[in-house]
Structure 1
């Protein structure tokens, strides 16, 4: 993820694409759950990438806690990844994961704010940006920087998520049908103001920056039920972060119903449900530097 923060709100270039708080521990845990639950879909994206030859140097922009980095290392066994993020905590988690997987010597981490001075990244053959481009203050500038950084004929993969996943059946909870959809609608209004590039069509932007777009793909996610324990925690973390962005605008009845779901001690807790699914989409653009 990422991020998302599924779309957790993150610092620029740091996370999946989700919510507004800045609690680093909660965000990192959500990124880890995103990576675990959506691992198969991330692997399918890396397998689809139109690479002419296995890259030796890859850059992961806004790597979060490492979902993309580890998937790329698996997909390209001779590659070294430079993982870039604004969060020292996220990078530390990534280094721990890489060490546990025996991949420490193939990961170089770099703490950097990509909205400021562009770091020295060498000349990678592949640059990966998952759920990070829409957090850039000036994404067109970032696209030009990536273009100039890539090796000739190098590939840039942009992955964007369709916001937080949906988890609940449409008629749940029974006393507040449509609650989850209303939460997403409220969060979309918040993001329209705070994250204006979320949901952008990156194809024309990539072309304007000098890339040749070689492919675009929509990956549909629809997992379970039955679901794993991780899905329950993923739903809990996602809806908790959504609550942080919509609490002031949600009707009192909806907020009370949401809080019942988020109360882990309650018999109505989302962790006790057996009807959860994970429903979302990812869109991928593969663009080549001529």
Structure 2
């Protein structure tokens, strides 16, 4: 899962979110692989659950890291799971993947007894994350590991002095977006360490990785910037002056000369924090 763009029309929003997740997986593949390698595991996990799997960024990183593992990929979106299954078939790993569609705030599905649960950018979407953590603890095998990976909000893409006519625009968009999300997604940006301890886990390791990927390294970064800023546009509508919104719209006009798609100074700048917690 990841930040969900707010678009009109449910199918359209699902498609946009799926593309953001796919771009996320492509651009941040190296960082995701480094996080799976960092996990404190003394033996290779055989049964793994990817909780809030989206279109499978974590699922495929975990399958690659542990070729013997079988993964249960859980998400509320049937469309995301369909996309994940198609990728698994294309890669020839479909025999190692089971998909489960479930609303984790409602009934808890049967996920077996996994050695490892991976929850990337999904815990902050839960209505009651403390209850979800307790359910994960009860699901894990004794001694099993939970990895909670969370984002520090939306990535940043523009240089600090950009765009030329409205320097600092992106920071102002982020400030407005943070206010919106503090109200609507209150658990985003939480410190998960105390929550994990309260749920009965022992936190063994935690780290924050800083991501900085130059735009010239991936042609997908322009598209990633476009969709991410578009999704932010709806949440900052009433919070920015008209001059800022006009400048933002010029960045979002895919066919216009000011489009982010035509800039050569983009980068992906963000942070990811991860907690590795063991069930005693």
Tell me the TM-score normalized by structure 2.
Answer: 0.97
In the TM superposition, what are the counterparts of 1:55-134 in structure 2 within 5 Å? 55-134=45-124
Provide the aligned C-alpha RMSD in A.
0.8
Q: Is residue 2:230 matched to residue 1:240?
A: yes
Q: CA deviation at 1:249?
A: 1.7
Q: Is residue 2:139 matched to residue 1:149?
A: yes
Q: CA deviation at 1:245?
A: 1.2
Q: Is residue 2:203 matched to residue 1:213?
A: yes
Structure 2 CA distance, aligned partners of 1:225 and 1:264? Answer: 17
How many residues were matched structurally? Answer: 276
Paired residue for 1:267? 257
Counterpart of 1:185 (choices 171, 175, 183) is 175
Contact 1:167–1:279 at 8 Å: present in 2 too?
A: yes
Structure 1 CA distance, aligned partners of 2:142 and 2:89? Answer: 32
Paired residue for 1:16? none
Paired residue for 1:20? 6
Q: CA deviation at 1:250?
A: 1.7
Structure 2 CA distance, aligned partners of 1:244 and 1:58? Answer: 36
Counterpart of 1:258 (choices 248, 254, 257) is 248
Contact 1:227–1:277 at 8 Å: present in 2 too?
A: no
Contact 2:215–2:222 at 8 Å: present in 1 too?
A: no
Structure 2 CA distance, aligned partners of 1:215 and 1:82? Answer: 24
Contact 2:215–2:221 at 8 Å: present in 1 too?
A: no
Structure 1 CA distance, aligned partners of 2:179 and 2:190? Answer: 15
Counterpart of 1:249 (choices 239, 242, 258) is 239
Segments of 5+ residues of structure 2 without an aligned counterpart are none
Structure 1 CA distance, aligned partners of 2:218 and 2:115? Answer: 36
Paired residue for 1:285? 275
Structure 1 CA distance, aligned partners of 2:217 and 2:243? Answer: 28
CA deviation profile, 1:125-162 (whole Å, cap 9, x unmatched) = 00000000011000000000000000000000000001
Contact 1:227–1:276 at 8 Å: present in 2 too?
A: no
CA deviation profile, 1:223-252 (whole Å, cap 9, x unmatched) = 114232101100001001010211122210
Paired residue for 1:38? 28
Contact 1:153–1:289 at 8 Å: present in 2 too?
A: yes
Q: Is residue 2:150 matched to residue 1:160?
A: yes
4+ aligned runs moved over 4 Å, structure 1: none
Any idea what SS the aligned residue of 2:217 has? Answer: coil
Structure 2 CA distance, aligned partners of 1:97 and 1:126? Answer: 22
Paired residue for 1:12? none
Structure 1 CA distance, aligned partners of 2:50 and 2:238? Answer: 35
